[in-house]
Amino acid sequence: MSERPLSPHLQVYRLPLTAVLSITHRITGVLLSIGLVFWAVCLMAVAEGEAQFAWAQAVLRSVPGTLLLWAWLFSLFLHFSHGVRHLIWDTGHGFYRDTLDRYAYWELVAAVLLTLGLLILT
């Protein structure tokens, strides 16, 4: 057995917030794609008739359906906020260490506030 030191694993190494948000951005993109497929299924159910529309309503008004809908909306706002941060980066701003973390926190706050704002409006 070798006595060489091992590189740190993810259990030891703490990823920076920008790396976590980058991974989250990719995950939310996948979730949004899955949600859009479900949205298309719901629209087709509405076009099919009353029975399928009742099914779509029952799914969306159930507790799991409502939770999934709000999670999807939070994913949408988080993905949008991260995209805005990338637009800021495209202008050449926000690459200093302190601004990276600050923009990351603003991104999270914006996603939460947009989701809560929509919840209050509905």
DSSP 52-91: HHHHHHHHHHSHHHHHHHHHHHHHHHHHHHHHHHHHHHHT
Q: Is CATH 3.90.1170.50 what the domain over 17-121 is classified as, yes or no?
A: no
Per residue in 43-80, pLDDT (tens digit) is: 999 999 999 999 999 999 999 999 999 999 999 999 99
Gyration radius from the chain CA atoms: 20
Q: What is the pLDDT, as a whole number, of residue 28? A: 95
Per residue in 93-109, pLDDT (tens digit) is: 888 888 888 999 999 99
Domain ranges of the chain: 17-121
Q: What is the pTM of this model?
A: 0.83
Q: What is the pLDDT, as a whole number, of residue 14? A: 81
